[in-house]
Each structure stands twice: as structure tokens, then as C-alpha cells.
Amino acid sequence: MADSNADLDAFRAEARTWLEDNFPASLKDKGLAPWGARQEGVHVDDDARAWQASLGAKGWGTPTWPAEYGGGGLTNQQARVLQEEMARIGASNPIPAVAIMGVTMVGPTILDYGTKEQKQRHIPPICRGEIAWCIGYSEPNSGSDLASLSTRAEDKGDYWLINGQKVWTSGANAADWCGALVRTDTSKPKREGISFMMVSMKQSGVTTRPIQLISGSSPFCETFFNDARAEKNDLLGPLNEGWSVGKRLLQHERASQTGGRGSGSGPAPKPIHEIAKTYVGTDEQGRLADLDLRGRIVEQVMAAAAHTLTTRRIAAEAKGNVQVSAAQSIMKNSATIVGQLHAELMIEIMGNQGLGWEGEGFSKSEIDATRAWLGGKAQSIYGGSYEIQNNIISKNILGLPETTQKG
């Protein structure tokens, strides 16, 4: 049931008071910089630690998660109000960033498929941002055809022995745990012999190696399992039914990539039309001087607004439903188009200043825009490529015939 306006007004007053009492003024408008997004060697000061602890104890780092496992227990409407109030005072929510894939992907999947013991063990530390997760899906020879993966988990009686290699494991070098798809039965058709395993990264059988990207950062890693160990209760979901668990996690991933789950990461960025006025100039009526650019910016802003509203509707319809839906494939491709178009327009607006990589001739925002443009090229690949999403949409929504190899 939707919250009434009176209920939301009361909650807004509660949230505003709590934030004013608990959010350190020293962190205003700093975004996630004080936490370094869990980068190694980044010093986290006392105010940042205190804010993370307060947010985690309140459950508002994961506002809509069940309160019994450390979440906030809020409705979607209340969570949006909280995000608005955090943005109003320049507050950020560092917990999704420091948990890496814990909040956006693994945690929701554990809530869907985990036993009560698994939820009690893993969810509270994710809510507090104390444990970071990565995802072990792609392999050197298993990208778009993920079901051909060869990393194996052998049943050793009282534990699982894991051997194999994963690639593009974001944040693996800083993660405490990995949610990995592994092959547990080689005699079955490839999708039917896969299980979802939760693997501790803090063991000698696991090594990682960062992969340098064109944007200058290294969020991705190669991950090697050499006689790594997982306990019997680290199996998430039924044995050999990990393909369904894995698809559900991808649905959560696409929701996080499409703007379906706000993190309250700080104040809203400056609107693109205001940035354009700074670089391009205005006419005598105060409008953007370049008429063609003005029209294209309007189209981008409208597309972004439509995307946001549709994402909210899909999230509301999917609440409490663990069935894997193809709707997020539509939103994943929509987010890719909206995000990449925004980045390209930013570079065009900045002109020569949009080509900066480093040096005193460029501001931080200009350098950030360049790197965001380059980094955003991967958006149409990670989380399931643009073409793969189109295949899912064509088969599962439009009902077009299967034209790819089954297995």
C-alpha cells in the first residue's frame, strides 16, 4: 500500500531531524571521496567512520531491506524521501560503495534465496558496510555464453574444492567474499550443472590481478581459484540450480545500473543545460545560444526523465516478486543510451576542454567528464551486453523465435 502524503511528511520530518543530528558537517558535498570507494591505502577519517557507523546502525544505508536483518525497513516512497533529504544537506550514503557488489547484487540475492542462517550471517555486515563482495561470473572463454563456464566446485564431503579462473571481477582485490557461479555436475546440460557458491576471498587459494582500463582506473580484476575452499553451507540456493540464482542476481545488477536503486551519494549534479550555458553562452533571452545543441539537450533530458519514471514503476511492480523478469533488460539498454548520450554531449559542450586527461589547463570537472565518457563505453558491455539484452527482450517479451544455439 502506498504511503499517504501525511505519512510521508511525518517521515520527512523524522529523517530531516535524524540527519541534522548525525551527519557530520565536515562531509557536506564530499560525496564518496572520504571513503575512497574502498580503495586500498585511502585513509578514512573519524567523521567518515562515524557517519558510516550511524547510517549502518540505523539501517538507512540499505533503507528498504528488512529491519530484522539490519536494513531500514522503509517503503520505496520513504526511501526516496530519505534520498531527497540527504541530497538537500549534501550527505552521501557510502555503504553501497564500500560493500562493492554487496548491496546492489549479492545481498538482494541472498534475501531471495538464502536460508535464515545465511541471511543472519551475511546481510547485517553488508548493511553496515563492513563486508565487501565481488561477483565471479565471466571467464576467459565464457563471456556472453556464460553457461559454458568451466570453474569447478568438487564435493569433498564436508566442503567444496574450487578450481578455475574468473575475469572482469569488479573489486575483487578489495573484496572479502565472492558470489561465484561454478560447475558442480559435468554430466548435465551446461545450464543444469551450475551452482551459486559464496567463496571467502581471504584464503591462500584465491589470488587477484587488476586489469588496467582506458579510463585510467582498474575496477576489474582477474581472479584465480587454486584449491580454494567453500563450506557446505556456502551454497546459495539448490545444488545445480545456480543458473536461476545467477539470473536473479543479474536482474538486481541491472536494476542498480539503470537507476532503479538510489544510493543517496550526495547532492544532485549540475544540470547539463546549465553546464552548456557556461561553455556555449546564451542569447539575449537567456537561452542556450546553439539552437541545435539546445534541442538535443532537451531530448536527452526528456529521455532521462522518462527512464527514471519507468524504472520506478518497474521497481514497484517487482517488489516481493523473486521471478526473473526481462523488464530490466529494457531498462539496462535504456540506461546505456541515456548515459552514453549524456557523456557525449558533455564532451561536445566543453569543446577543447572536454579532451583533457591531466594538467593545469583543465579543471577537475573537465577531466572527470573525459574519463566518464571513456569509462561509460563499457556500459554497453558489462552487466550483459547491449546485444544480449536485445536477445532477451526479443525472446522473453516480444515472443520472437529462438535463433541461438540452445544448451
The cell for 305 is 526523465
8 A C-beta contact, residue 258 and residue 312: no
8 A C-beta contact, residue 362 and residue 391: no
- State the DSSP H helix or E strand holding residue 226, giving kind and residue range, or none if neither: strand 220-231
Distance CA 333, CA 393 (A): 10
8 A C-beta contact, residue 165 and residue 222: yes
CA diameter of the chain: 78
Q: Give the per-residue SS3 of 78-91.
A: HHHHHHHHHHHCCC
Distance CA 378, CA 387 (A): 13
- State the DSSP H helix or E strand holding residue 255, giving kind and residue range, or none if neither: helix 242-257
Active site residue 130: no
Which residue among 85, 139, 253, 366 is the active-site one?
253
322: Cβ–Cβ under 8 A, 6 or more apart, which residues? 112, 113, 248
The cell for 74 is 522503509
8 A C-beta contact, residue 193 and residue 184: yes
The one-letter amino acid code at 387 reads E
The one-letter amino acid code at 385 reads S
Distances (CA, A) of 27 to 33, 55, 102, 262: 9, 14, 24, 19
Distance CA 40, CA 58 (A): 27
Distance CA 71, CA 194 (A): 30
The one-letter amino acid code at 97 reads A
Which pairing describes strands 194-200 and 235-236: parallel, antiparallel, or unpaired? antiparallel
Nearest to 295 by CA among 287, 284, 304, 306: 287
17: Cβ–Cβ under 8 A, 6 or more apart, which residues? none
DSSP E strand stretches across 78-167: 133-136, 152-155, 159-167
Q: Which residues are catalytic?
A: 253
